[in-house]
Amino acid sequence: MADTNNQQQNSISDIVLNKIKSGGVKMRPKIYFVLKTILIIFGTAVLTLLILFLVSFIVFAMRASGTLFLPSFGVFGLRILFISLPWFLIFATVISVILMEILAKHFAIVYRRPIVYSILFIIILVLLGGIIIERTRFHPSLFWRSQEKRLPIMGGFYRDPSITRLQNVHRGIISEITSNGFLIKKPDNQMLTIIVTPDTQFLPGREIKEGEAVVVMGRREDDTVYAFGIRRIEDQFNMFMLEHRPPRPMR
Amino acid sequence: MREEVSQENDEKIAFLVQSGKVEVFSILIKRYEDKIKRYSRKFLSDKEDINDVVQNVFIKAYENIQSFDTKRKFSSWLYRIAHNELVNALKKKKKNPLLLFDLDIFFPQQFHADNSIEREIDRQDAKEIIDKCLDKLALKYREPIILYYFEELNYKEIADIMRIPISTVGIRIKRAKELMKFILKK
């Protein structure tokens, strides 16, 4: 029995060594593993940047379309918000986070801890990073470059009308107060007549004046909007209005 | 040369293989062949399948030896390869291998060594008891308990081999012991 075991032992050892000696099995060079590690680190870094871009772009697009202000209009606003969320971008972000988690699992610091920790870390990192980036002029400047057709690859992405335009949600600057409402100038310089009824909800208060930026929620018929809710917004959210366009570089 | 080298530790021998002294790889095979075979036997019953797995483990170890960090433990690195080979073999056999997504790797879990169970299943008697209950244990409990009791690896090493959180290793070993206690009582 011991002899049989010995023979077996020798045979496995011999088979492996013979395969090595005959060249049937080759040792992969160190550079292969170095490149593999570099690729994983590079992939993780690219995915981090992509997720940061997507998150900041989602917030930017929601501000640009006025979606971000919808929850203040109550349940109806929340319903429109849910319908209008950029689901494709959110889905792309979730997939990127999963891919990033898979790549990060190659590192002991990640797999030795419960997945929920690394997922939470990624979510906090990208949310904070995304919001910080969104506060800069990064997206507005790319947005304007795309409008002027000076953004080759990403241009179409920013020119997509669904990004800044939303059904039943209109944003612009009040240009004139009328007897039954006011007129607004939209980011594309289009004028809309806003009709205010006794049921119209005003946030934060009913006092509005010319030059103020507003988001109006309501049904549109031609160039007239019957306002369900009106919300004043801060100037800093107005960076994509035409007059806020950054100056073109000198030639 | 081989006699001198055979006194060295695994990591030193692995370093020599990395440096081109291919012939000393046989020392590592000799040292681990029985252990890997014993480990495989806990998951596979067919002798040929076991031999295939063992052979593949050493072939993969040789192919990838340059990825081994000699500052770390060679045994953990080799068992990681064996774990992957066994998962592949079980997949081929269509036996439910270790699940990729298991809830116990998602959330942090508290585990404390249960002394009462520890007393009942004394480390000395553990191997015998585990052998009796092994077939009744799910694979996800079977592997950590084998690595802990038979291969005498610690939680961190088992976590590195199975690529699961350290707390999950503790929880799975604890549950495996509770299950074995239940099976023995029946």
Q: How confident is the model at residue A39 (pLDDT cuts 50, 70, 90)?
A: very high
Q: Which residue in B176, B131, B178 sits closest to B158, CA to CA?
A: B176
Of A99, A126, A158, at which residue does a domain stop?
A158
Which of B92, B116, B150 is the last residue before a domain boundary? B92
Is the domain of A172 the same as that of A153? no
Yes or no, beta carbons of A108 and B106 under 8 Å apart: no
Q: Is the pLDDT of residue B150 over 70?
A: yes
- Non-local CB neighbours of B40 within 8 Å, separated by 6+ positions: B49, B50, B53, B54, B82, B86
Identify whether B98 is part of a domain. no
> Quick check: is B140 in a domain?
yes
Q: Say how many domains are in chain A.
A: 2
Residue A6 lies in a domain: no
When CB atoms are compared, the residue of A12, A20, A117 closest to B33 is A12
For position A115, what pLDDT does the model report?
Answer: 86
- Residues 129-158 of chain A with CB under 8 A from chain B are none
Same domain, A85 and A110: yes
Has residue B174 got a pLDDT over 70?
Answer: yes
Q: Tell me how many residue pairs between chain A and chain B have CB atoms under 8 A apart.
A: 78
A64 and A121 co-located in one domain? yes
Closest-CA distance of chain B to residue A104, Å: 12
Distances, alpha carbon B3 to alpha carbons A138, B11, B24, B70, in Å: 66, 16, 10, 21
- How far, in Å, CA of B168 to CA of A4, rounded? 40
| Residues B176, B142 contacting (CB under 8 angstroms) | yes
Q: Which is more confidently placed, A81 or A223?
A: A223
Q: What's the pLDDT band for B184 if we cut at 50, 70, 90? A: confident
Q: How confident is the model at residue A251 (pLDDT cuts 50, 70, 90)?
A: very low
Would you place residue A1 in the very low, low, confident or very high pLDDT band (cuts 50, 70, 90)?
very low
- Do residues B98 and B86 lie in contact, with contact meaning Cβ atoms separated by under 8 Å? no
Give the CA count within 13 Å in the CB-facing half-sphere of A240.
Answer: 29
What are the beta bridge partners of residue A194? A182, A225
- Give the domain extent around B25: 2-92
Q: Is residue B97 part of a domain?
A: no
Domain termination site, one of A158, A189, A223: A158
Q: How many Å from the N-terminal Cα to the C-terminal Cα in chain A?
A: 89
Please count the other Cβ atoms lying within 10 Å of the Cβ belonging to residue B91. Answer: 12
Q: Residue B53 is encoded by which pair of tokens?
A: 């797995």
**Domain identity same for A153 and A196:** no
φ, ψ for residue A190 (rounded to 5)?
Answer: -75, 145
Q: Is B64 on the interface with A (CB under 8 A)?
A: yes
pLDDT of B179 over the 60 cut: yes
Residue B30 forms part of a structural domain: yes
User: What is residue B93's predicted lDDT score, i.e. its pLDDT?
Assistant: 78
Across the interface, of A13, A27, A33, the residue whose CB is closest to B26 is A13
Q: Would B11 be classed as within a structural domain?
A: yes
Tell me if chain B has a CB within 8 Å of the CB of A19: yes
- How many structural domains is chain B composed of? 2
Verify that B68 and B113 share a domain, yes or no: no
Residues A124 and A51 in one domain: yes
Please report whether residue B17 resides in a domain. Answer: yes
pLDDT for B177: 86
Q: What is the mean pLDDT of residues B55-78?
A: 94
Q: Which residues of A touch B18 (CB under 8 A)?
A: 30
Backbone phi, psi, residue A165, to 5°: -120, 140
Domain-located, residue A152:
yes
- The answer to whether residue A242 scores a pLDDT higher than 60 is no
Whether A14 maps to a domain, the answer reads no
pTM of the model: 0.74
Question: Is B25 at the interface with chain A, CB within 8 A?
Answer: yes
Q: Does any domain span residue A13? A: no
| pLDDT band at residue A137 under the 50/70/90 scheme | confident
Same domain, A108 and A207: no
Chain B hits for A29, CB-CB cut-off 8 Å, are: 66
Domain residues for the domain of A76 are 30-158
Check whether residue A64 and residue A142 sit in a common domain: yes
Mean pLDDT of chain B: 84
User: Residue A62: pLDDT above 70?
Assistant: yes
Last residue of a domain, one of B92, B117, B151: B92
| pLDDT beyond 80 at A15 | yes
A110 and A146 assigned to the same domain: yes
pLDDT in tens, A87-116: 888 999 999 999 998 998 888 888 888 888
Instruction: Give the domain CATH number at B29.
Output: 1.10.1740.10
Whole-angstrom distance, CA of residue A159 vs CA of residue A148: 10
* pLDDT > 70 in chain B, percent: 83
| Residue A8: Cβ within 10 Å count | 15
Domain assignment present for residue B56? The answer is yes
pLDDT at A2: 47
User: Is residue A18 in some structural domain?
Assistant: no
Residue A7 is predicted with a pLDDT of 52
Residue A65 lies in a domain: yes
Instruction: Decide if A114 is inside a domain.
Output: yes
| B20 has a chain A CB within 8 A of its CB | no
Distances (CA, A) of A203 to A69, A71, A92, A125, B143: 10, 11, 33, 32, 61
Chain B residue with Cα closest to A9: B33
Look at residue A21 in the predicted model and tell me its pLDDT: 87
**B89, B53 Cβ separation under 8 angstroms:** yes
Q: Which residue has the tokens 């190659």?
A: A106
Tokens for A10, please give them.
């020798």
In this complex, the residue of A9, A33, A105 whose CB is nearest that of residue B67 is: A33
Domain identity same for B27 and B68: yes
B127 shares its domain with B168: yes
**CATH number (domain holding residue B174):** 1.10.10.10
